[in-house]
Amino acid sequence: MNGKPNILFTSTFSTPFISTDIQLLQSFAELKIVQSSGVAALLKYILHLRKTDLTFSWFASVYSSILVLLTKIFHKPSIIVIGGIDVAREKEFNYGIWNSWWKAKLVGYGIRHATKILSVDESLKQEAIRLAKYDGRNISVLHTGYEKEQWTPHGKKERIVLSVGAAPDFARVKIKGFDILFSVAEKMSDIQFIIIGISENIQKQLTIPKNVTCLPKIAQTELLKYYQRAKVYAQLSRREGMPNTLCEAMLCECIPVGADVFGIPTAIGNAGFLVDINKHDEIQEKLFAALNSDDTLSLKARQRIIQQFPIERRKEKLQTLVSESLD
């Protein structure tokens, strides 16, 4: 193909990691961006498809799956990134698109028939294979990437345990493991905990320990300051794709303590502590171990993300995968 490919980029909402992929793709492609839902979004898909070489969608959803169907009609290749909730079926917490039988049908179609599926972690690839009931022939694992210049340590660390995650409802509080962190914090009353991302409405309905400060979602520039202050970052999620906030915190030399599930051990490796979220005494023990660790482990946490998940690697692989899809 001569010149830059024309890509129709779609998502139903925006996040920092989605915005990062937009920037990466724009470095080698021309993008038409549709970040909306409803009938208007579907009409925009049809409008742009004729002049599109390829579609690129964040998350397997009803919308990205309908788009895959449209690409078959227009004879265009398609890429979907799966990131977590799109391959979840947690009935206990009513979490995941696969809890709806008709959405599951559509999403299963989209995953099986997209030209390429990019999974941010091997664990999510296996979930997609299990839920969509096929061999995963079109799935590649491509981790998210992180800017070492954006997320940097600064100043002296404080004896703070930090955790960050979007929790606009009770289900997300549970999925992010914030209820577990509350329980552990009560037993560590001399340690300061900060949890960022629980909506103010939900906070009012929770029993929050005195040594826990809860904040709603904040801007990334403000978030950086908390990463730089905290000695320890806790990621006690019951489910997680490639945990972006964990990786950002590690780049800021927070020592990670994380649940041994899904993409969390992929991120932490040997640069922190993995725990069984059902064993609260173990979590408490590892949090104290992290708080009492010297700077060696902090430096190791930053170096792991720099070496294993650089933003440049994601950009290069995205360009290769787009090129392969167009061949």
List per-residue pLDDT tens for the chain, 327 residues long.
568 999 999 999 999 999 999 999 999 999 999 999 999 999 999 999 999 999 999 999 999 999 999 999 999 999 999 999 999 999 998 899 999 999 999 999 999 999 999 999 999 999 999 999 999 999 999 999 999 999 999 999 999 999 999 999 999 999 999 999 999 999 999 999 999 999 999 999 999 999 999 999 999 999 999 999 999 999 999 999 999 999 999 999 999 999 999 999 999 999 999 999 999 999 999 999 999 999 999 999 999 999 999 999 999 999 999 999 998
Q: Across-strand partners of 167?
A: 198
Q: What is the CATH number of domain 158-308?
A: 3.40.50.2000
Domain boundaries, the chain: 6-145+310-326, 158-308
What's the pLDDT at 1?
54
Q: Does the global pTM surpass 0.75?
A: yes
Domains 6-145+310-326 and 158-308 share a fold: yes
| Closest residue by Cα to residue 82 from 146, 140, 24 | 140
Give CA–CA dist 117/194, Å, rounded.
36
Pairing of strands 212-215, 192-198: parallel
Cβ atoms of 243 and 235 within 8 Å: the answer is: yes
What's the pLDDT at 87?
96
Q: Across-strand partners of 230?
A: 158
DSSP codes, 192-224: EEEEEEE-HHHHTTS---TTEEEE----HHHHH
Strand ranges (E), the chain: 6-11, 30-35, 54-58, 78-82, 116-119, 139-141, 158-167, 192-198, 212-215, 230-235, 255-259, 273-275
CATH class of 6-145+310-326: alpha beta
Give CA–CA dist 91/285, Å, rounded.
31
In the numeric block, which tokens belong to residue 21? 């992929």
